[in-house]
Structure 1
Amino acid sequence: MAIKLGIVGGGVMGEALLSRLIAQQLYRPEDVLVSEPQAHQRDLLARKYGVQVTSRNRAVAAVSDILLLAIKPQVFEAVAIELAEDNGERPDKELLPVVVSILAGVSLSKLEAAFGRQPVIRAMPNTPATVGAGITAIAPGKTVSKSQKEQAIAIFQAVGEVVEVSESLMDAVTGLSGSGPAYVAILIEALADGGVAAGLPRAIASQLALSTVLGTAQLLQQSELHPAQLKDRVTSPGGTTIAGIAELERAGFRSALIEAVLAAKERSRQLGQG
């Protein structure tokens, strides 16, 4: 059985990547094997995407060219034992798969220790990847070839943008873009609540809040304006916007977001040591 892509973990992020890769025809369904412990999720993946599925992680490691780890960090050590190159099931030891990990906090050194001679790449996508609007940071290990890195980049470009960073910055990436969608969701919810407090119907307030955040992000991206420049363009002397900004500053809005990123970065570091 020739499998080009093996995915260990068919949960939210694993399925998000799978769905986009199949939809964009980067991989044919018959070239993908997914291991997933939940029987109902295996059935769903097989039925929805036409891929092969198994409950055995070792079966994936034995046949794949690329091994994508999409499991929870807490189960990494147990799963890694099954997946390591010395499991005795791979017919050609010279054709070891590159391991691409999206596990928060699991360092390259830990991955390399677990997988021996296999090249490893650490990656951190975020949840907007589920709709093809994510951003992924990757940090290749020391034995990764140019072509292997390009393969990994192609996988994550299927769900959004890709940036390459040094390994030392991956916890910071986790704190910002990995956890960031939750911060933005709170921002949108709070804006909508503010609209309701000001008298707007909930549905209208939610629509206004969501479209405002989405539109602002698109404007900044397309115009390449610095956020401070856009803020200044919206803020007129003695107007409504500066009154609102003054309240945000009094409440510590800016520093709260900075501290949230730093706290999430620290938690990612702790998970990697656990």
Structure 2
Amino acid sequence: MTNIAVIGGGQIGEALVSGLVAANVNPLHIRVTNRTEARGQELHDRYGIVNMTDNAQAADEADVVFLCVKPKFIIEVLSEITPTLDNNSTHSVVVSMAAGISIAAMEESATAGLPVIRVMPNTPMLVGKGMSTVTPGRHINEDQLNKVKELLSTVGDVLEVAEYELDAVTAMSGSSPAYLFLVTEALIDAGVNLGLPRGTAKQLAVAAFEGAATMMKETGKEPSELRAGVSSPAGTTIAAIRELEESGIRGAFYRAAQACADRSEELGKQ
């Protein structure tokens, strides 16, 4: 039996809870805190979890505590629950799901020896297709790390990375679904501009992204190879590719990823 506390039942917190419950984790062993009773009751009604508003109470005797709050609140919440963690009969593992806040910052704000893990999740966790990277702190043992990986695997893939890579990981994984949503939105609007009904354009665009992602994952081929396979000489696809290249699509993604990584680094310094 693993007792789990989820501090913050927002989008990421709910996605995690949804995956855990779908993987047959007993919802009575999952405590979720929210600032409003109404949100907590909503999650209780939907998943059967234990609804709480007191973070310290939720962390009491928890084996794993997921901090699913905004980066600016991580240290504050950690300080709030540290006295409870110190009195737990087991070594509770704290898992930060926020960008920017370093392991050192968390370890310095808590009691010496606190087991801490940084995770960079993304929102496709909501449909079990998430990508979570894990970075263990100095005081994490192998069993604790494996337990957290096992829990996160209920909502998608899990990859261990070094902490110095996390700003880049934020740009490439944590924030990148938003880039793809934007591209899909633009493609749908392009279809409407061509005369398609919006519903038809949406269905075509979403299916194309889903199919392309599946091909890349299941075939193991490089994206450039798959793109070449669709681009016949002097054909329709290569004409579109040329327009995208001349419009600077690669440079736009370079700059977007850099801006995201830079902002992640700034959050860690604040």
Same fold (TM over 0.5): yes
Kindly tell me: are residues 41 and 3 of structure 1, through their superposed partners in 2, closer, same or farther at Cα, counting changes over 3 Å? Answer: farther
Query: C-alpha distance in 2, partners of 1:88/1:34?
Result: 16
- 1:63 matched to 2:49: no
Given that residues 62 and 89 in structure 1 are in contact (C-alpha distance below 8 angstroms), is that contact kept between their aligned partners in structure 2? no
Match of 1:186 in 2: 182
* 1:3 shift after superposition: 6.5
Match of 2:135 in 1: 139
- 1:18 matched to 2:14: no
Match of 2:154 in 1: 158
**Runs of 5+ unmatched residues, structure 1:** none
Q: TM-score, normalised by structure 2?
A: 0.95
Q: TM-score, normalised by structure 1?
A: 0.94
* 1:236 shift after superposition: 1.1
Moved more, 151-160 or 45-54: 45-54
Given that residues 9 and 35 in structure 1 are in contact (C-alpha distance below 8 angstroms), is that contact kept between their aligned partners in structure 2? yes
Measured on the aligned residues, the alpha-carbon RMSD in Å equals 1.5
Kindly tell me: are residues 89 and 125 of structure 1, through their superposed partners in 2, closer, same or farther at Cα, counting changes over 3 Å? Answer: closer
Superposed, 1:206-217 pairs within 5 Å as 206-217=202-213
Query: C-alpha distance in 2, partners of 1:50/1:200?
Result: 43
Kindly tell me: are residues 91 and 161 of structure 1, through their superposed partners in 2, closer, same or farther at Cα, counting changes over 3 Å? Answer: closer
- Partner of 2:139, secondary structure, is coil
* 1:88 shift after superposition: 8.3
- Partner of 1:158, secondary structure, is helix
**Runs of 5+ unmatched residues, structure 2:** none
How many pairs are equivalent? 269
* 1:91 shift after superposition: 5.0
Among 252, 257, 261, the alignment partner of 1:256 is: 252
Among 46, 51, 62, the alignment partner of 2:44 is: 46
Among 103, 107, 132, the alignment partner of 2:102 is: 107
Given that residues 71 and 101 in structure 2 are in contact (C-alpha distance below 8 angstroms), is that contact kept between their aligned partners in structure 1? yes
Among 226, 231, 235, the alignment partner of 2:231 is: 235
Given that residues 3 and 63 in structure 1 are in contact (C-alpha distance below 8 angstroms), is that contact kept between their aligned partners in structure 2? no
Q: Counterpart amino acid of 1:249?
A: E
Given that residues 3 and 33 in structure 1 are in contact (C-alpha distance below 8 angstroms), is that contact kept between their aligned partners in structure 2? no
Given that residues 20 and 158 in structure 1 are in contact (C-alpha distance below 8 angstroms), is that contact kept between their aligned partners in structure 2? yes
Deviant stretches of 4+, over 6 Å:
none
* 1:48 shift after superposition: 2.1
Query: C-alpha distance in 1, partners of 2:208/2:117?
Result: 36
